[in-house]
Amino acid sequence: MKAELQSFGLRGLFDRWRGLRTPPRRDLPVRSGLERVTAKPARISGFDQPLVLLVAALLAFGLVMVFSASVALPDSPKGARLGELHFLTRHGLSIVIGLVAALLALQIPIAVWEKWAPWLFVAALVLLALVLVPHVGVMKNGARRWIPLGLLNFQPSEAAKLVMTMYAASYMVRKMEVKEDFIKAVWPMAVALAVIGLLLLAEPDMGAFVVIAAIAMGILFLGGVNMRMFLLVCTVLTLAFVAMIAFSDWRADRIWAWLDPWNEKYAKGRAYQLTHSLIAFGRGGIFGEGLGGSVEKLNYLPEAHTDFLLAVVGEELGFVAVATVIVAFFWMTRRIFVIGRQAIVLDRVFAGLMCQGIGIWIGGQAFISIGVNLGALPTKGLTTPLLSFGGSALLMNLIALAIVVRIDFENRQLMRGGRA
């Protein structure tokens, strides 16, 4: 027993303490004394129950807050024909559809996703092009982003986020031998990202493009692309975003409005949402005005049930609730990365990179959405994952998290000596 502990060393014990467990040694029995000391049986078999419970808690909390934030919308001219329970019913239906889709995704082995990743990428490009076709894509608020499918309006850009995590992970596995070569490793991914960017900006949906670019670049970095090439691509992307802002008057106005939201020039225009969001947080204080006590949701704060749901949370439940949401997303993102690292340690590179790409997506979008609500980032049309109203976003979030649970399940199968 003592010799076995020494063979792992301090680094191995430190990794286990941090939750980044290394695979069991092949020359030791699966149920060795060392495993009984350093690993909890409940964490070796089954699935990650704390992660699933957190997702369920966020879904339940989001359902309550969407109902609270949308209760006054039927009183507005736009929602005059809607019933009081319209958004609650639609959001509940989206959760049910998302959970059914997640259960189906949970049955699919990760090897199948790896095999179909390139074809799914092509399908995502077709959908992104199809949404731009008149009478096919639905125009709302000056943007053409949705394809009507009866029960919900499907947003191809949400599917593109998940597909990009798969495609980028598959791409890095296929290019692992030439990852130091810019032409062979980085340039094809840059072209693919540029095509998606052009289609998204034509909608326009710059927020989705930012998230997808972050996913692709994050997977390239985690996949081990040469640092100089990585920094070069980051620089090019940054300059591209700066150029898009500089040569677009309405995007530039958004930046100036964000920098000076209380200026009379912007307070009732470009910065209207931001100023009312800040007022909501100010009214909420530490413990909030109480559930249902928001004033800003009474048709003062636009998109209170989608992009600015967190402002309603801050006004009604205060800083405590907002901080809890932030901690929840931080823990979720970290746990997803841990599962991805476990997969890579078990020589499942595609599964590990895809899992960490999903972590970048969920954590990055939550970070941007929270930052926008708090005024720390420029206003962008991004929902808060698992919380905000939005059928397509919720559907793809739940499918992505089901894939993470599947990766974790297969990791545990391998750690028990079985097959993934």
Residue 259 lies in a domain: yes
Among residues 176, 164, 279, 254, which one has the least CA distance to residue 222? Answer: 176
Return the percentage of the chain with pLDDT > 90, whole number: 55
Residue 420 confidence (pLDDT): 61
Cα distances (angstroms) measured from residue 291 to each of 110, 152, 284: 41, 28, 11
- Asked if residues 368 and 377 have their Cβ atoms less than 8 Å apart, the reply is yes
Tokens in use for 90? 């639609």
Model pLDDT for residues 100-123, shown as the tens digit of each residue: 999 999 999 999 999 999 999 999
What residues pair up with 140 in beta bridges, in sequence order?
143
354 occurs within a structural domain: yes
Single out the residue of 354, 374, 212 nearest to residue 284, CA to CA: 374
Q: Provide long-range contacts, Cβ within 8 A and 24+ apart, for 211-215.
A: 211/161, 211/361, 211/364, 211/365, 211/368, 211/382, 212/157, 212/160, 212/161, 212/164, 213/237, 214/360, 214/361, 214/364, 215/161, 215/164, 215/165, 215/168, 215/357, 215/360, 215/361, 215/364
Domain range for 109 is 46-413
Structural domain contains residue 168: yes
Domain count, the chain: 1
Task: Return the CA Rg of the chain.
Answer: 23
Angle at alpha carbon of residue 63, lines to 61 and 51, rounded to 5°: 45
Lowest mean pLDDT segment, chosen from 114-128, 226-240, 299-313? 226-240
Both tokens of 300, joined, read 């003062």
Least confident among 16-25, 38-47, 409-418: 16-25
In angstroms, rounded to a whole number, what is the distance separating the alpha carbons of residues 7 and 228? 37
Q: How far apart are CA 204 and CA 139, in angstroms?
A: 11
Instruction: Judge whether 35 lies within some domain.
Output: no
Q: Does residue 17 lie within any of the structural domains? A: no
**How many Å separate Cα 195 from the centre of its chain?**
21
Query: What mean pLDDT value characterizes the chain?
Result: 84
pLDDT at 223: 85
- 12: Cβ–Cβ under 8 A, 6 or more apart, which residues? 22
Other beta carbons within 10 angstroms of residue 372's beta carbon come to: 25
Q: pLDDT tens-digit profile of 321-339?
A: 999 999 999 999 999 999 9
- Does 305 map to a domain? yes
In 3D, which of 106, 90, 125, 151 has the Cα closest to residue 306?
90
Query: In the structure encoding, which two tokens stand for residue 368, read together?
Result: 């941007």
Tokens standing for residue 383: 């929902």
Chain mean position to CA 381: 14
> Taking the mean position of all CA atoms in its chain, how far away is CA 326?
14
Residue 4 is assigned to a structural domain of this protein = no
pLDDT digits (tens, 9 = 90+) for 165-192: 999 999 999 888 777 776 777 788 888 8
Distance separating alpha carbons of residues 294 and 316, to the nearest angstrom: 5
| β-pair type (153-154, 143-148) | antiparallel
- The reply to whether 190 falls in a domain is yes
Give pLDDT tens digits for 190-219: 888 889 989 998 888 888 999 999 999 999
The Cα 366–Cα 233 span in angstroms is 24
Q: Out of 70-79, 83-92, 301-310, 400-409, which region has the weakest mean confidence (pLDDT)? A: 70-79
Confirm if 385 and 207 have CB atoms less than 8 A apart.
no
How far apart are alpha carbons 221 and 240 in whole angstroms?
Answer: 19
pTM for the predicted model, two decimal places: 0.86
> For residue 134, which amino acid is it?
P
Residue type, 181: D
Q: Which residues contact 28 (CB under 8 A, 6 or more apart)?
A: 4, 34, 35
Residue 226 has pLDDT above 80, yes or no: no
- DSSP-assigned letters across all residues of 252-306: HHHHHHHHSTTSHHHHTTTTHHHHHHHHHHHHHTTT-S-TT--STTTTTSTTTTT
